[in-house]
Structure formats: C-alpha cells, structure tokens
Structure 1
C-alpha cells in the first residue's frame, strides 16, 4: 500500500484521454493515456465514442484499485466544454455527443436570435458570442426545434464533465464552470440561467447546480471514495494559479487557441469587449472570469508551413531561432504589416503576403512581431480598470524565445513569468476537491516558474 492518500483524475481532451494519480502534495505518481477513434453521428459527422470512453475509464479505474498499490481516496474529472449528454428516464443516452464544430441549420440560429435577441445585448449578458454549437445551450434549442420527439424523452442533459462523474455516482448535477463557458445559457447580470432557458422549459431537464468543489462520499467496489462533480478544463487549468497567487494576474494559456484569463475584473462585458472577441468563463464559485481568445497557435502553424515552403527549410526551422535585437531594430524602423492571415482578422492586414527578406530568420522575426502585437492587444482587452497585473504564460509558446521576448517588450507594464506543466487541467481537477491551502512556492515547485525581463531599447 502507498505512503498516503492519492487523488485520481481523468483528464479528457478531444484527442488524448488521460488518467493521473497525484499524492497529497500534488506530485504525479502515475499516468496513462489512450486515443479513442471517433465515430459518426446520424449525419455522418465525427464525434466522441462515448461508450468506448466509458468502458476505458471504468477498466482503468478498476484495474488501479485491484492492484492495491495506491490508497485512492478521491477521483475527479476534467474535460473539454460545449458538449452535452442527454439521458432518458432509463438513464440511457439518447443522442450522439454532438461535436461542437458541427454546423447546424442557420435558420435555427436565426430564429433563436429573433426570439431572444438583439444579438449584441444577448452576447453581453451571457458572455457568449454567437458561435453555433460552441454555445452548448444552442444545442438544446436545436434539438427541441429539429428533433422534438427526442427532446421530449430527455430527462437530464449533463455537461460532459458531469456525465463522467455520473458514470461513477449515478447522481445527475450541474456545476458552474461548465455552465459558464460560452454556453449562452447563463445571465451573468442575474447570476442565474438566462430567461430563454425558462421560456423554453429547458430548466426542467437541467439538474441542480452545485459548487465545483462538491464531492460525494461513495462506496465504489467496496471502497470508500470521494467522487467529484467534474470541472471544465479551461477553468481547471486556471485554478492552481488562483489558489497560489495573492496578487492580481492575467494568465495566457497558449496552444492552438491562445486564451487570456482575467479572474479579477469585476466589470461586465461591454459591447466593445464583445466585438473584440471577449467572452466569459466561470470560476468554481460562480464568479465571472473575463477572457479573450485568439486562434494564435493555428495561425502560427500555417504561417510556419508557408515560410518553410517559401525558403525551402525544415518545418521546425523556428525552433532554432532566438530573438535578435538587431533584426528587430531594422524591421521596426519602417514597420508595415506583411502577412495575410489564414485564421485571424486585423485592421491593416494586406490582401496578400509578399515577403521582402532574403533569409528566413528576418521573415520569422517579422511574423512574430505581427503575431505578438495581436496577442498583446488581446490581453489588453481584458485588463479592465487596472493595468497592475502580473502576467503568466503557459502552454506551447513558452518555448518560443522570440514570442516571450517580444511579449515582455510590448507589455512592459506587466511582470512576465512563464510556467510549464503538462498537468494543468488535471492538477486543477485534483485541487478543486481538495481543501489543501497553496502558497506562492507551489508554482515554483510544480510549474518551473521563470521570470522574464524586457530587453533594453538602444
């Protein structure tokens, strides 16, 4: 038997499904993962294979319990958002787990905003820009409009993290972080479901809301285990920072999407902020988190492929390029935007990309200057009334020397630190059902915290 209590976490992404064990100091003891092939919904659109996922989770957990190597006292679940599981009165799943990238009939969306708009006011109240099924509340409206017989059979609609908890507890619940992630379901002014949820009688199939810190003490296969209610992965990744940092901060989580979080801005979203792409997430206590999103990693990847082909260099050429002040100085003397974006929109974007440099290092610096300027503006949109923030950056771009140097330069008023952890959302899920107090040393110990100083301007 192990030396202490262990917390298990299932961290379910769209690609990798991971299982972790953490000790009482939140050190990783064990991990395993699997990729599960997608299946297709009734329209042939790819979607999560829920049955295979459920079978894998049960097997992994039962196997680890049977080894008796670890004294597992708790389990929790972190997953991607904008996904709902619909159960009938026999607790059977009624529909596929519709993929949030699936397009639905535009007339359904138009009818919704005609009924409950105007669109701008709705987006401000719900912190949810119009985004089809990425607004998971829209999925419920869509099913009601297009599959009324199915809708009538729904007893409960569960967000994906809560469904995974339900697999182990049999208790249907809702919780704040899943409701609050661009679902178009929550009215941040009222701090309740938006009135459209009640007018459509959708509240009748939504289980009671509980705090994300809620857990149930259950007898599982003869063992007493605390089972959490699950948490949305972005909110989970934010939690270790909220619990361990005392000053105001902004967290920039980088990857395919670059998402900037401000848990300390009390102001409601304005029209201008919504226009600039701001959204709301929710902390575990129901408090709003102002956030802005950029498809930065996706854009970076496409532009790197373009430069690689243009200069006939390896696809990973950028990994060897370090920030060069002389190149930066030359480029910025008479700076003009050079790149046409694949997945971003900026005011001065040229109609096509015309490269003006002999070598890839210069072109790459120019690309990064443009991208980091967009990133810096995205961060500034969520500052609120104060600019006195520490800035934390985690994820893939922390290894990008040019990105970090430029970001610390363009946001000189903020003290920039990078962190590294492949455990982000899993660790947050473990923390959310723990009453352990964290201090400022937690990030240094668990996240390879590193401070960065802006370069000196000659």
Structure 2
C-alpha cells in the first residue's frame, strides 16, 4: 500500500529542499538543491527565479509519479521580505530582487517624510527601518523608480504565496508574510497601512487567506507560509504554557508568542519587531547577527592557533575557564593573542555572544509569565553556548530543542486537517534541559 504523505517545499536563501512527511510527521523523502545566484538589471545578486520554478515543477512531477507514496497535499515554506510581480498572463514581470539590495537613501527619506516620520511609521507597522528588508519599501521603489513594472504588474505576491500559486493557479496574500517587517500592515488598526492605498498598490494585492487555507480538489495546495513563522508552529501546538523560542542561525531571533504589548521606541531602536503567528496574533521578536559573527570569529581564532575550524564544534563547556574569564574585558579578536590557547579564546567569544543575547532576549519578555526558553538551530547543539545561556537566565528553564526540519513540519501542520487522518503527534519537539 502506498504511504500517504504531504510534499513540502522548504525554500531557503541557500538551500532549497523538497521533503515528504508521513502522517506521523516523520521525513520519508528529502531532496536538496543549491542554486547559484544571478544578477538583476542593476548588477545586484538575486535569486534565479525561472530556474527555481523549473526545478520545483520537475521535482513535484517526479514525486507524483512515485508508486510507494500517495501525495495528499502540497505546501510551501519560504523566506520572507521577497516579492514576485506577476503580469496579466500570470508570469513573473521582473527579477526576484534581493532583500539585501541597497536602498536609495533619498527615496527612504521621502517615504518616511510623506507618511508620518520614521519613528511613528515604524511604530504603526512594527517594522524597524530596514531598507529593502521591508518588502513594502520595495513596492514604493517600483512605484517611483520603475513605473513600467508598476503598470505591468497585475498582482504582487510574497515568495511563499507565489510558489504556492505555481501549483494551485490561484493568488492569495497571507498574514505571516504580510506581517514580517514588511511596513505594509498597521498593527493597531489590523489592516493595510493607508500608504498602500495612496500609492496604488491595494488593487494589486490578492485577497488575504489564512495559513490553514488550501485550494484545489485533486491535489490540495496550501497558500504557503513564511519560514520563521512556520518554525514556531510545532512549539505552539505542543506547549500551551508561555515560552520564548530562540531560533539560532545566521540571525538569532528571540520570539515571544505570548507578548502582545505594542513595540516601544526603545525596542524598535534595538532591532525589535513583530511577526504575525499563523493564527493571526502578533509575536514580539528581537534579532541579533550572532551566527554570522560567530562564524567569522571562529575562522580567525582557528587561523591564529593553527586549528581546524571544525575543532570548536566538539569543545565542551569548561566552568573553570569561564570563572577565569569572568573579570576579563570584552572579547576582541584583535587581542586574541592574550589567550593561552584556542579553548580559552573560544569560551570568551561565546561568553560575549551570550551576554548580547541575554539583553536581546530580555527585550521580548515584557510582562509575560515566561518560565521556559527553547533554543533551536545551530547554537542548540553547542555545549558551551547552552551552559552559558542557562547561567544567563537562572530564573528560567533553558532547553535545547530539536525539531527535524521545523519550517517544513510547520508548513505541514498548518494544513494538517486537509491531508492527515491521524491526530497531531505529542512528541514533535525533543528537549534537553540545561541547568
């Protein structure tokens, strides 16, 4: 008998994956693709959208032809702050511009001056001023600098919803994409910010569907979900008591799904923002570029001490080193020669990162009764980081959490009732406690 499964495309900036999960949410198939970036008309790097479309269509056709599985549904998890403009024929009308594309300062100033000032506007939209990382500002740029593209655009779709449209043929907007620092949504009024109408974009935005919505009778297709919001879903379903999730990778993002207090000016200035949960509620979050800083510093320490960078993955926590470094000045790679060996230098690096993380995570605690801190991603597997984090939050239970392919699992969970005949498993998340 063929195994009933869901096919989930998990589209990251670096790796693109197709996974199939059975009704117990175990991964029964995984295919990973890496793609080279191309350049847009300005010479800036961007995703090769046409190649991505071609690969995804080929991959789905191949797995639909498999005889040992029955694909009951398809959904998409994909990175945010990226939009696709489609024309009257439903084809992409422009490159998939990179969210790191430089944003003209003059245009940014004009935008904020027109719509109430940077601070007030950022409050209303729960979006720090981040240039192209605010996908709404990408739309403003098109409206004022690329009028031909604006005229050709029938619909603007965020990337997860565009990739869903490839298979469903139907266009939708969805709240986890609209709500991820896009500068499109007025959080207090719970609707698009007035600038969207004023600049002529409202008619080019498809109707909003919930993350649980599916379309298509022969093969149900979900509307897609922003990957950070998808990764939070398994935790929300398994743990009803308040918690903070620290998702660690290139960025370390602290997400408090139980803090619905409005962002303050101070929080915005310290890179706090709000995401929107799959069920429409806001998630106060803070960001640190810790993963990137860690990788860069590890390479430098390795060169200085003649070590293989992989050596540091196996280092164990040494409380004596931590005690020895307690009164030392802040870690600096420029002064790495003052360390007697690479283990001491590495402990001090992680101590510095955890100190910054302590401040960033405390920003999202607010007045919530959070007593548990879950850490997933790369740092969850780092013994030194986890012990130091538990030390930095003595009043909380700190856990390394493991959900295999959390974003893909989250995308499957939000449309569970459309493909799965079994109850949601109670063991989606595996925990390891650090005292």
> Which TM class, normalised by the smaller chain length?
over 0.9
Task: Give yes or no for contact 1:338–1:355 (8 Å, CA) kept in 2.
Answer: no
Residues 1:408 and 2:402 are matched in the alignment? no
2:376 counterpart of 1:394: yes
Shift of 1:305: 1.6
- Mapping for residues 297-316 of structure 1, pairs under 5 Å: 297-316=291-310
Distance 1:70 1:132 in 2: 44
1:153 is matched with 152
Shift of 1:387: 4.7
Q: Deviations over 1:210-256 (max 9, x none)?
A: 111100133xxxxx221100000000000010111111000011111
The aligned residue for residue 421 of structure 1 is 403
The C-alpha deviation readout for 1:25-76, integer Å capped at 9, x for no partner, is 1111111111122221111212111111111111111111122321111110
Give the Å deviation of 1:360.
1.8
The number of aligned residues is 431
Q: CA deviation at 1:310?
A: 2.1
1:355 Cα deviation (Å)?
A: 4.3
CA contact (8 A) 2:164 2:223 kept: yes
Give how far 1:317 is off. 2.9
1:194 aligns with 2:193: yes
1:265 corresponds, among 259, 266, 290, to: 259
Q: Which one is further off, 292-301 or 37-46?
A: 37-46
Which of 316, 338, 346 is 2:331 aligned to?
338
- CA displacement at 1:417 relative to structure 2: 1.1
Instruction: Give 1:318's match in structure 2, choosing from 312, 321, 340.
Output: 312
Pairs within 5 Å for 1:50-89: 50-89=49-88
Report the Cα distance in structure 1 between the residues aligned to 2:101 and 2:307, rounded to whole angstroms: 36
Report the Cα distance in structure 1 between the residues aligned to 2:384 and 2:66, rounded to whole angstroms. Answer: 47
Match of residue 237 from structure 1 = 231
Q: Distance in 2 between matches of 1:59 and 1:105?
A: 38
Report what 1:143 is aligned to: 142
Aligned mates of 2:250, 2:405 — CA distance in 1: 17
For the residues of structure 2 that align with 1:387 and 1:329, how far apart are their CA atoms? 31
Structure 1 residue 138 displacement after superposition: 0.5
Aligned to 2:108: 109
Q: CA deviation at 1:378?
A: 0.8
1:182/1:281 contact within 8 Å kept: yes
Deviation, 1:437, is 5.0
Q: Is the 8 A contact 2:381 2:400 kept in 1?
A: no
Alignment partners' CA distance in 2, 1:150 and 1:16? 29
Separation in 2 of the partners of 1:159 and 1:387? Answer: 34
Aligned to 2:413: 431
| Structure 1 position 123, deviation (Å) | 1.2
Task: List alignment gaps of at least 5 residues for structure 2.
Answer: none
Q: Do 2:215 and 2:222's aligned partners in 1 also have CA atoms closer than 8 Å?
A: yes
Structure 2 partner of 1:20: 19
1:442-457 correspondence to structure 2 within 5 Å: 442-443=427-428, 447-453=429-435
Q: Distance in 1 between matches of 2:332 and 2:341?
A: 16
Q: Write the deviation string for residues 60-100 of structure 1: whole angstroms up to 9, x where unpaired.
A: 11111122321111110010001111011121211100011
Other-structure match for 1:275: 269
Q: Counterparts of 1:162-201 in structure 2 under 5 Å? A: 162-201=161-200
Tell me the TM-score normalized by structure 1.
Answer: 0.91
Separation in 2, partners of 1:196, 1:299: 36
Helix, strand or coil for the counterpart of 2:20?
Answer: strand
Aligned to 1:456: none
Structure 1, unpaired ranges of 5+: 219-223, 341-351, 454-458
Farther off after superposition, 181-190 or 85-94:
85-94
What is the SS of the residue equivalent to 2:285? strand
Q: What are the Cα deviations for residues 113-142 of structure 1, in whole angstroms up to 9, with x where unaligned?
A: 111131111112211111111100001100
| Structure 2 counterparts to residues 112-127 of structure 1, below 5 A | 112-127=111-126
Q: Which moved more, 1:22-31 or 1:228-237?
A: 22-31
Instruction: Give the drift of 1:405.
Output: 0.2
- Per-residue CA deviation, residues 301-357 of structure 1 (Å, 9 max, x unaligned), is 11112212222222223223211111111211x2321326xxxxxxxxxxx546432
For residues 361-410 of structure 1, give each alpha carbon's deviation from its aligned partner in whole angstroms, at most 9, with x where no partner exists.
Answer: 22222221111010111110000103533110010111211100000011
Once residues 374 and 115 of structure 2 are traced to their aligned partners in structure 1, the CA distance between those partners, rounded to angstroms, is 38
What is the rounded CA distance, in whole Å, between the counterparts of 1:35 and 1:314 in structure 2?
25
- Distance in 2 between residues matched to 1:354 and 1:19, nearest whole Å: 42
Residue 432 of structure 1: how far off its partner (Å): 0.8
CA distance in 2, matches of 1:388, 1:85: 38
Alignment partner, residue 329 of structure 1: 323
Q: Distance in 1 between matches of 2:183 and 2:104?
A: 18
